[in-house]
Chain A
């Protein structure tokens, strides 16, 4: 388990505008993946919310209705530092106004990193994010995911 509250350093990393990769799988174990456009952490409750653009998300959401287990990888573009959180989804809701603002703030920071890497400005600033769904999960483990031989090591057993 990953007991709340989270380490403040972890929260800072998760909310810092890093790339967000989401994976889910159906009851037969057939997986799907996509990117998320924003993440918010509720440290006290031990919960994380990721925002999934509706158009990109149908399969991820269908899977979650059969199997609530979710994986989210947080990866910093500049140095590839990556962590993966695993958890069980507790709520899927339409994103509200405050969630939309969180997405906008996320994309502002994420686009800056993409531009620094040489992505065209139009592309970096043009990622579609609304309408979206806010998917909240209770974290049960965090894993090292930085590419290399240590990838997959549990930082807190899950």
Chain B
């Protein structure tokens, strides 16, 4: 008999399966099923999302039949099933719920598709069906050659080395993305970190998208990345639904046509025609430190081993991030804030003048009429610029930011460092004449190549 694990490609949810059940009086019911989940060598799980006819039948008569398709060869398989039990919690339920919610949120159907139970079925028989396609038409089974173990291990060791070498959060994340690109060919990837309230994530670094998405935000629970963050579970989408690609393509075309300088949202970087996506939560000791998201233009580009591999990398990166943040906090706690040094005097004839405007209602900073940054990084920038304006001060340290009640940083685990990275990067992009240069650990200097005008407004 065929082994269930040989059907692994059928369990990726690329092609819908068929599901037949029957009522006690012998009336069949047949429907599409978006995904069959592999549980173990003799069990599969089906999602129970609605109290529909299928569910009613299963309560009366435990037998079911599923027809699945291999998304590469289009070979059809049939499983004879017998219902065993429904799980409403545990790792299987969580993994299925995360996937269903991510896809629902991705397609704007949040709340409609919710997992009620993970229904476990015993597999009584597996049959390979001949004759779905005419023999001449069946595509050649093209086994993607799995990467050799040596390549994988070499890549893993490169990633580990980069993580160990990193001296700060910025170089850690940049090193991670570069290693994934160079060692494993993940050409489109980004890292998002949570804000201080844990309500939103913002992109701090990416490869393959240019700089445009730095600072893009996504709410917890929103879309693939937000759902992964909320559930702290990896989700892989092997075949992005075509209607979604269409939506993204329209969005990206609209954005290209009308760049809006006043817009206070930076769109999330993404391939308009992505067909495979994988998002991995960076979790250390149960705490979410960020999300690593990768995508590809090819369907089925990410396989089981990619997911397993990135899970390992993600957990290494999360530990490294956590250590780095903790170390930064404890080391800074021992240092006393140094008094400001006299500003280095610069003689320049015609310095450019940049106008910064702070909107108090949403802590939003604009530079020369163009959106720069908001929320905590916005408040930090405003504090620094004002302090410089009033006293000529140029040297600042993280400790004083942590202790400043007006900034509203939480007392511990504030990820201030990652907020400063975002601020630095947004300044580089939008106003290169204003720089926050890191000095010793936990200290930085404001460098200016321009004159500043500071304006405060109640609201925009």
Least CB distance from B410 to A in Å reads 40
> Do A23 and B80 have beta carbons less than 8 Å apart?
no
Least CB distance from A79 to B in Å reads 9
> Do A35 and B28 have beta carbons less than 8 Å apart?
no
Q: A117-B242, A122-B139, A126-B136 are in contact. Are A152 and B53 (CB under 8 A)?
A: yes
Task: Find residues 24-75 in chain A having any chain B CB closer than 8 Å to their own CB.
Answer: 24-25, 27-35, 53, 55-56, 67, 69-73, 75
> Do A29 and B53 have beta carbons less than 8 Å apart?
no
> Do B112 and A25 have beta carbons less than 8 Å apart?
no
B387 in contact (CB, < 8 A): no
Task: Find residues 153-185 in chain B having any chain A CB closer than 8 Å to their own CB.
Answer: none
CB within 8 A of A53: which of B22, B131, B136, B138?
B131
Number of CB contacts from chain A to chain B under 8 A: 129
B6 in contact (CB, < 8 A): no
> Do A86 and B67 have beta carbons less than 8 Å apart?
no
A125 in contact (CB, < 8 A): yes
Contacts of A8 in B (CB 8 A): none
> Do A151 and B30 have beta carbons less than 8 Å apart?
no
> Do A123 and B137 have beta carbons less than 8 Å apart?
yes
A147 in contact (CB, < 8 A): yes
Contact mask for chain B residues 83-111; partner A; CB cutoff 8 A; 1 contact, 0 none: 00000000000000000000000000000
Contacts of B24 in A (CB 8 A): 29
CA distance A86 to B31 in the complex (A): 12
CA distance A86 to B27 in the complex (A): 8
> Do B50 and A149 have beta carbons less than 8 Å apart?
yes
Binds A, one of B13-21, B311-319, B336-344: B13-21
A91 in contact (CB, < 8 A): no
B61 in contact (CB, < 8 A): yes
Contacts of A148 in B (CB 8 A): 50, 112
CA distance A84 to B54 in the complex (A): 13
Least CB distance from A92 to B in Å reads 16
CA distance A67 to B137 in the complex (A): 35
> Do A30 and B31 have beta carbons less than 8 Å apart?
no
> Do B139 and A23 have beta carbons less than 8 Å apart?
no
CA distance A15 to B163 in the complex (A): 60
B134 in contact (CB, < 8 A): yes
B146 in contact (CB, < 8 A): no
B74 in contact (CB, < 8 A): yes
- By the criterion of a CB under 8 Å from any partner CB, how many residues of chain A are at the interface? 44
Least CB distance from B121 to A in Å reads 13
Least CB distance from B51 to A in Å reads 8
Q: A32-B20, A123-B139, A143-B53 are in contact. Are A75 and B32 (CB under 8 A)?
A: yes
A2 in contact (CB, < 8 A): no
A134 in contact (CB, < 8 A): no
Contacts of B32 in A (CB 8 A): 19, 21, 73, 75, 82, 147
Contacts of B78 in A (CB 8 A): 32-33
CB within 8 A of A84: which of B30, B61, B242?
B30
Least CB distance from A49 to B in Å reads 17
Contacts of B132 in A (CB 8 A): 35, 53, 56, 127-128
| Chain B interface residues toward A at CB < 8 A | 18-24, 26-32, 50, 52-54, 56, 61, 63-67, 74, 76, 78, 80, 112, 129-134, 136-139, 242, 299
5 A-B pairs with least C-beta separation: A126-B137, A55-B131, A23-B30, A33-B20, A23-B20
| Chain A interface residues toward B at CB < 8 A | 19, 21-25, 27-35, 53, 55-56, 67, 69-73, 75, 82, 84, 86, 117-118, 120, 122-123, 125-128, 143, 145, 147-149, 151-152
Q: Can you list 14 residue pairs at the A/B interface with Cβ under 8 Å?
A: A19-B32, A21-B30, A22-B30, A24-B28, A25-B63, A29-B22, A31-B28, A33-B65, A75-B32, A82-B31, A84-B30, A123-B137, A148-B112, A152-B54
Extra inter-chain contacts (13) besides given A71-B30, A152-B52, CB under 8 Å? A22-B30, A25-B22, A33-B20, A33-B65, A34-B67, A35-B132, A55-B131, A71-B20, A128-B132, A128-B133, A148-B112, A149-B112, A152-B56
